[in-house]
Structure 1
């Protein structure tokens, strides 16, 4: 099933499908994608992420004109959550509950499928929102908040097809398996677009720091998922994005004061 090669599609069609999948924006229905179509459209994930980050960052930037840094940053994160329908946050919470469950691989996968959120999931969300918001609040100003969030949203979504390249599906069913596996060219396109977006937003030095943060955050989840459940699910991929986004924002927050000095 994962080896099916989708028919060639244009960039606009892939961008539309990626935006419909990743956001809750009122976009025209993309219809049922062909087998492997979503995997191929993942090359556009960073572009969608860039747009989401710019929109959320603009909300935070506007809020910063009348509010202190932390409330402004929290509103920026809230805007991102609303735009995506908490798609990736839901995956992070489910994976955290699975990792915290007692038992073997099958038990962890069973817990991850439970729609209820447990203590580990709640704590994971608290740390995700808290770390992202405090990192954004540490930015020197509203413009830096906007560019950092745009870079983080783009780069973190570029890690999703990369993670699927180095892991196997943990289940034979579910979104992680049914989406298909993006080939190396899709992962390369996504990585390239994510890095270009980061470089435009942050400059070369900032993009390097951001890339290191995304890599460390994403790899941490990959290692945990491979050990705990043997591969990826849709929840794992959501957690990869969240960890990578958090890693980018922390790295940029650490690098900006040095660059300013």
Structure 2
């Protein structure tokens, strides 16, 4: 149990800015095992975002509360995944060879592709989240609980889609230049089981109230498949930035899929 707690806190410290016990370090072995808890981080980030949304929604409009929810999610993770998304936009938008793409993604400066991508990403998140929440508020008596499930399911499922890439593809960089390299070394059935368990549980609870939400898994993992295929084609695998980009894109696809299901099915 003590070892599992250490692994969990390693995951929490690596993927968020939440304070952890001082004896927790980025040990490569623990960091590799910590992938089993990566979707559970989505429970935490989603819940924090929901709490901030709920507090601001008491006094302000839904749209304004959603903006504050997005802000707190970025602050909680340190823009970890958003940074990866921007790097992927810059790398694949401006590079035409594996070496060039990897070099651009390693650069800490943000380019035009990354900036434009982030603006469009946050606009989509804001609009889709606001519309989803308004639907709950209008038609549902259990709106608060379902809005919480919406936040948590989006963050956990998108993280599952991202981390599952390490189970099926090889890490692209040959050196140790990326801080995400340790998670790419090896994994066991515990990492696979833990990822899928924590990634799917919130959605399964959500489906108890509305079975249609289970269909959102299909477009999310279709998107994950084509993203992984695209990364494989251009850089022979993935990097930590690719995982971050996958998480962000799949989160948006989840919101979009639910809106489509609720409005047309």
1:106 CA drift (Å)? 0.4
Q: Which moved more, 1:158-167 or 1:140-149?
A: 140-149
| Alpha-carbon distance in structure 2 between the residues aligned to 1:257 and 1:138 | 11
1:206 CA drift (Å)? 4.7
- In the other structure, the counterpart of 1:237 is 243
Q: Confirm or deny: 8 A CA contact 2:85 2:114 kept in the other structure.
A: yes
| Alpha-carbon distance in structure 1 between the residues aligned to 2:190 and 2:157 | 17
Q: Which moved more, 1:121-130 or 1:172-181?
A: 172-181
- In the other structure, the counterpart of 2:52 is 59
1:199 aligns with 2:193: no
SS of match in other structure, 1:121: helix
TM-score calculated relative to the size of structure 2: 0.86
Give structure 1 regions of 4+ aligned residues with deviation exceeding 4 angstroms: none
- Structure 1 residues not aligned, in runs of 5+: 1-7
Q: Confirm or deny: 8 A CA contact 2:38 2:159 kept in the other structure.
A: yes
**1:163–1:64 CA distance, 2 compared to 1 (3 A):** same
1:247 aligns with 2:253: yes
The size of the alignment, in residue pairs, is: 252
**1:15–1:210 CA distance, 2 compared to 1 (3 A):** farther
Alignment of 1:150-189 (within 5 A): 150-172=152-174, 173=176, 174-179=178-183, 180-189=185-194
Of 99, 110, 113, which residue of structure 2 is paired with 1:106? 99
Tell me the alpha carbon deviations over residues 152-200 of structure 1, each in whole angstroms, 9 at most, x when there is no partner. Answer: 1111122233111111111022233233333344123211221112222
TM-score calculated relative to the size of structure 1: 0.87
**1:216–1:70 CA distance, 2 compared to 1 (3 A):** farther
| Alpha-carbon distance in structure 2 between the residues aligned to 1:36 and 1:87 | 21
**1:20–1:176 CA distance, 2 compared to 1 (3 A):** closer
| Alpha-carbon distance in structure 2 between the residues aligned to 1:20 and 1:257 | 39
RMSD (Å), alpha carbons: 2.2
- Structure 2 residues not aligned, in runs of 5+: 138-142
